[in-house]
Structure 1
Amino acid sequence: MSSESQFSQGEKSFDFYSAENDRYQGGIILQETKDRLIERYGEKLDNLTLKRVVIGIFYTGVLLSDGSSGICFTPIKAIPESVCCPSSARAMPRAGKLRGMKVTDIFQYLTQPAPIKRAIAIATLNALSDRIWRNNPDEGAGKYRIEEGDDIFSIVDLQSIKKAVVVGALIPVIKSFKEKQIPYRIAELDIRTLKEEELPFFVSQEDLPGELASADMVIISGTTLLNDTLESILFTCSPAANIMLIGPTATMLPESFFSRKVTVLAGNRVVAPDKVLDVLIEGGSGYHFYGDSSRKVMIIKE
């Protein structure tokens, strides 16, 4: 259930507060997480570099010099430059020169508009977070716990859910809503990704704030981290709702998510980095590496 959906098309995104409201700041969660990692690593961070980078069709993966690894959704549809080589070069100007790049230099990609750069930076945050968890199994004690698996519905009182909203065409989640007979709505910018029987549950960008505010459960694709729309979505959600961010993109230190209403991160931890990257370089998706070289995990707020 950790698959992710790309629902940002070019310049469009679920950013329904940026023009009218300054009570949130897009991308602040990533910045806070970066700062927290810098504080935790200290001077050790200065010696960390990229050992391997793979930009696959579905996921982008990194392997750091200390052996830690992380992945992030590849935002192919958000790269209009990919139609021709000269303009594509501007989207990834250091191609062929990333190996050996300092992790601290990768952090600058978090604030740059090129989607592929942001994917590399987010994958790096995931890798750094995983190293902390491996070095300290008790990390987060009293604040959160990490459980292996991806059954997000096992930790929710299903009887209490009167309406759920899924942001992004997360097919496994939608399937579970149908099977468990949970009333749901789907927010997805590319309506072509929905099946005909799902169209009656579609919610427009204009109606999404009202739907989020009245939902008991909100499940959000991790790709919202890539286009800086997560904060605006969380701002609109009810504080009483179960809010879950899912997908390998969202597998990092969770404190900044939890302080903004998120209750669960359902992501993916890499256990065999080279195997995962070999799959990605051959165009593989999550279905090709889950269970073999990676583990699905849930980071649950206490």
Structure 2
Amino acid sequence: MLEEKNIIIAETIEQIEQTLGSELDQITVDRAVFGLFFSGVKLSTGHGGLCFTPVKEMPEAVCCPSTAKAMPLSGKLVGRPVLNYIEDVHSKNPLKKTLGIATLNALSTLCWEKEKPDELTYEISMGEDAFEKVDVSQYQKTVVIGALVPMLKKLTQAGADYKVLEMDSRTLKGKELEHYAPATDAHLYIPDADLIVITGVTILNNTLYDLLKMAKKGAEIIVTGPTASMLPDVFFKYGVTLLGGIVVTKADEILDIISEGGSGYHFFGKYAERTAVRAVCN
């Protein structure tokens, strides 16, 4: 039985399985790439998916003899069934999990193509960052989980009352440090927040569900980043109001870029598009 903290991913997998059915049995991964910032896959269907590369989760990777421990499947990733990658989503190995989530994101794009999203349920903006969809001046208290630089700049410029919860304070600069609080203090700030902005990395480290449980009813909750580029339904079910992700439009090209240490600056508008999906209240 899966732990409660994995429930969002588990239910998203169920939705993908229901949408694609037996087709899943035939799909394999044609390419798998680990990059400095992003990792990604290309499916045999041609669809691509990305995930944040959790470098800080792999202290053993700094030692060459330990690389096999970090990713024991190196050299055996191509042609592997997506069903195996889906199983890896629940792995304790951070690299296996990374490619598993990238695979879910690629499969989510396939699902969107097969079942067009209901415009009465979702409000979808392509080529637009989720941060652009929010007027921070409307909220009295904001909490940001992770060093999400564009949002932090926006909040600082607006003179907003905010806290940024981050495991490593060195990722913050200047005035941002004045708003810093350790990630372990989430329970002190999230319950009072009107706007909560959460990095998709919380999907990787299994903290998202617990963070959502702390939020008060009616709070605006944004989850954003390449890791969060999957079907939105389950996220909305557990309180998220806006999901920001990435849709890969040219899989081979984007994998080439990230394999050379590329970031979003190198591929947005060329090989991938930002997406912002909002839950529509009926």
Give your verdict on TM over 0.5.
yes
1:134 corresponds in structure 2 to 113
2:171 corresponds in structure 1 to 193
Is 1:207 aligned to 2:185, yes or no? yes
1:55-94 equivalence runs, <5 A: 55-94=34-73
Shift of 1:159: 4.3
**CA RMSD between the two structures:** 1.5
CA offset digits 1:78-131 (Å, max 9, x no partner): 111112123221121111111000001111111111111111000000000101
Is 1:294 aligned to 2:276, yes or no? no
Shift of 1:133: 1.6
1:158-173 equivalence runs, <5 A: 158-173=136-151
For the Cα contact (< 8 Å) 2:131–2:151, is it kept in 1?
A: no
Shift of 1:181: 2.8
The residue identity in structure 1 corresponding to 2:277 is I
For the Cα contact (< 8 Å) 1:51–1:64, is it kept in 2?
A: yes
Q: Percent identity?
A: 41
In structure 2, distance between residues paired with 1:69 and 1:205: 32
Comparing 101-110 with 190-199, greater Cα deviation is found at: 190-199
Of 249, 252, 263, which residue of structure 2 is paired with 1:274? Answer: 252
In structure 2, distance between residues paired with 1:89 and 1:153: 39
Shift of 1:140: 3.5
Is 1:48 aligned to 2:47, yes or no? no
Normalised by the length of structure 1, the TM-score is 0.88
In structure 2, distance between residues paired with 1:64 and 1:205: 35
The residue identity in structure 2 corresponding to 1:38 is E
Shift of 1:193: 0.9
CA offset digits 1:259-291 (Å, max 9, x no partner): 111001111101111110110111111111111
1:148 corresponds in structure 2 to 126
CA offset digits 1:132-190 (Å, max 9, x no partner): 22234x32343223211334355445443001111001111101112233221110010
CA offset digits 1:4-27 (Å, max 9, x no partner): xxxxxxxxxxxxxxxxxxxx8112
Of 216, 238, 246, which residue of structure 2 is paired with 1:238? Answer: 216
- Greater per-residue helix proportion: 2
In structure 1, distance between residues paired with 2:124 and 2:260: 30
For the Cα contact (< 8 Å) 2:30–2:44, is it kept in 1?
A: yes
SS of residue in 2 equivalent to 1:245: strand
For the Cα contact (< 8 Å) 1:132–1:139, is it kept in 2?
A: no
In structure 2, distance between residues paired with 1:280 and 1:150: 21
SS of residue in 2 equivalent to 1:70: strand
Comparing 179-188 with 240-249, greater Cα deviation is found at: 179-188
In structure 2, distance between residues paired with 1:206 and 1:107: 30
Is 1:253 aligned to 2:217, yes or no? no
SS of residue in 2 equivalent to 1:34: helix
In structure 2, distance between residues paired with 1:139 and 1:154: 22
Of 90, 98, 104, which residue of structure 2 is paired with 1:125? Answer: 104
CA offset digits 1:34-76 (Å, max 9, x no partner): 1110111111110000000111010011000011110000001
Shift of 1:255: 1.1
In structure 1, distance between residues paired with 2:107 and 2:161: 38
Comparing 140-149 with 265-274, greater Cα deviation is found at: 140-149
